[in-house]
Structure 1
Amino acid sequence: MLKDFFVKKKKYATVPSSKIKQDVPEGIMKKCPKCKTIMYAKELKKHLLVCQSCGYHYPISAFERIDMLFDDETFIEFDKDMVSENPLEFEGYLEKLEKDKEKTNLNEAVVTGKGKITGLETVVAIMDSRFRMGSMGSVVGEKITRAVEKAIELKLPMIIFTASGGARMQEGVLSLMQMAKTSAVLKKFSDNGGLFITVMTHPTTGGVTASFASLGDFNFAEPGALIGFAGRRIIEQTIREDLPDDFQTAEFLLKHGQLDKVIPRNELKQTIGTVLSIHSEGGEKQWHQD
């Protein structure tokens, strides 16, 4: 037909988009959730999982942070085999814990231990939001408490990196009790002259914010981190007012005096190392003599 004669034939066959996606190995490329820039995963990792276009800080695992922060082969983990039980017999709780263990290769939502940062020894607790959204249950509270007690025993500084959705609902009041438990041991730590640094990462919310996350001698945060107790909608409905767009961000808290500094990830090790150095032997804050 005459119509067919005038239809321009394609020189090359088209390739379905599904086929193109299959040709690119999974994990090679990453898209920034904030600015949508597409980048190589290796390049992103080289920049400590921070987008070089907009500065978005990707959430990272506890052991990724340990690798970024601690001097090579100095980290020693505490209480690795401590696991949660189901004291309230909450339906499906143990099954969910098992799935998170398989997914993260962790036994709980916090990793504790000691190591050296720029040559200076410190005790650390690092929360991992991949495990039950970093929620604080009995084991999380116990591991942090034991780490602080170890810092008292060894007369070392204490650093906690927070990343949490709050208290763990499957453990009810036992979870809420960890707020008082961790706060009490940190008071003992402070009374003994210990240096306590918190670094709040995205997100830090609920009972964690209302307890140990806010008790540091220095309270730091990563850029863009969500930090707060109750959610935006709950607060707006309670006070019947609209909140600022940047409400509960690290930058908002810094502006209103609730943080000492917002520190980009690539400056974190050096900044913490400087603080540890200032407060080491001969510095301003020292351990009380026995």
Structure 2
Amino acid sequence: MSLSEWLNIKRNTSLKTNKKTIDLKVPEGLWIKCSKCNLLMYYKTLEKNFKICPKCEYHFPTTSKDRIEALIDNNTWQPINKYLISTDPLGFSDRKLYSKRLLDMKIQTGLCDAVQTGLGNVVNIPIALGIMDFRFMGGSMGSVVGEKLTRLIEKATIEKIPVIIICASGGARMQEGMLSLMQMAKISSALQKHKQERLPYFTILTSPTTGGVTASFAMLGDLIIAEPNALIAFAGRRVIEQTIKEDLPDNFQTSEYLFKHGFIDLIISRIELKNRVSQILSFYCNR
């Protein structure tokens, strides 16, 4: 062994012996990166900003609980039909039993199904509110979602108050087959009776709002509001392109594209939503 080789070995050994190992454990959920502009920020900063990126204003997905806190006045929320749960009428099974999938979703989300319904005030104006939660099986519309929204609308009709539904859904729930598709007609029928009483109904479309939800109650609002850059569609882009044999614009099926073509009425940021909704409600109620 040469002298230079021996000196290198000794130097490396000395470095390993004297080196101090520092174990830095960063708590999970402390930082989050924006999926659109890659801004790295504290999660608490994002939460304080209604889960909107402070740089590019990308609207992160949020929960039904957060939406209730952001829209409804403090101490006025009264949930209804909170513990209504789905069964497995078809005995459906794919990679796991439908009944097992429902149980897993309940444990993960703390919800009984993909929608929360209740009564509350928006700047002292009473409303009936339904909030779909995409975390529960993609916000899919099954029998319980349809039943809870129908009961909510019927309650609002009796109480003579407006209805607002915040939509976030992948469409009808395939595990319940035709039973899920029947909810489209059931909810629409309840909305017609609500309309006959000359009561307002608003929808707020968030990302994503697709499938049977878009084809029914999401597009029946007297006023249709959407969050910025929300995905709003019935069928997927690829299916449409293959059907019409044409390429679609890059912003196709976004709230901005639909606003430009007259399918929705307003695009409102989550930060401004409560104030703008209260202004609109005041106009309808005063009238």
Q: C-alpha distance in 2, partners of 1:41/1:51?
A: 10
SS in 1 for 2:87: coil
Choose which of 37, 40, 43 in structure 1 pairs with 2:42. Answer: 40
Amino acid at match of 1:44: L
**1:148-163 superposed matches below 5 A:** 148-163=153-168
Corresponding residue for residue 81 of structure 2: 79
Match status 1:131 vs 2:97: no
User: Which sections of structure 1, spanning at least 5 residues, go unmatched?
Assistant: 284-290
Corresponding residue for residue 53 of structure 1: 55
**1:247-266 superposed matches below 5 A:** 247-266=252-271
Deviation of the 1:192 alpha carbon = 1.2
SS in 1 for 2:271: helix
Deviation of the 1:200 alpha carbon = 0.2
Compared CA separation, residues 86 and 55, structure 1 to 2 (3 A): same
Corresponding residue for residue 97 of structure 1: 102
Match status 1:218 vs 2:223: yes
**1:116-265 superposed matches below 5 A:** 116-265=121-270
Q: Deviations over 1:102-132 (max 9, x none)?
A: 0110000000001000111100000000001
Q: C-alpha distance in 1, partners of 2:235/2:20?
A: 51
TM-score normalized by the length of structure 1: 0.92
Q: C-alpha distance in 1, partners of 2:219/2:260?
A: 16
Q: Deviations over 1:41-81 (max 9, x none)?
A: 11111101000111110111111100111110100001001
Corresponding residue for residue 69 of structure 1: 71
Dislocated runs of 4+, deviation >4 Å: 3-16
SS in 2 for 1:197: strand
Amino acid at match of 1:208: V
Choose which of 252, 269, 272 in structure 2 pairs with 1:267. Answer: 272
Larger-gyration structure (1/2): 2
Amino acid at match of 2:274: K
Amino acid at match of 1:164: S
**How many residues get paired?**
278
TM-score normalized by the length of structure 2: 0.93
Amino acid at match of 1:144: L
SS in 1 for 2:229: coil
The percentage of counterpart residues that share the same residue type is 49
Q: C-alpha distance in 2, partners of 1:205/1:80?
A: 24
User: Which sections of structure 2, spanning at least 5 residues, go unmatched?
Assistant: none
Compared CA separation, residues 237 and 279, structure 1 to 2 (3 A): same
Q: C-alpha distance in 1, partners of 2:5/2:34?
A: 47
Compared CA separation, residues 81 and 5, structure 1 to 2 (3 A): same
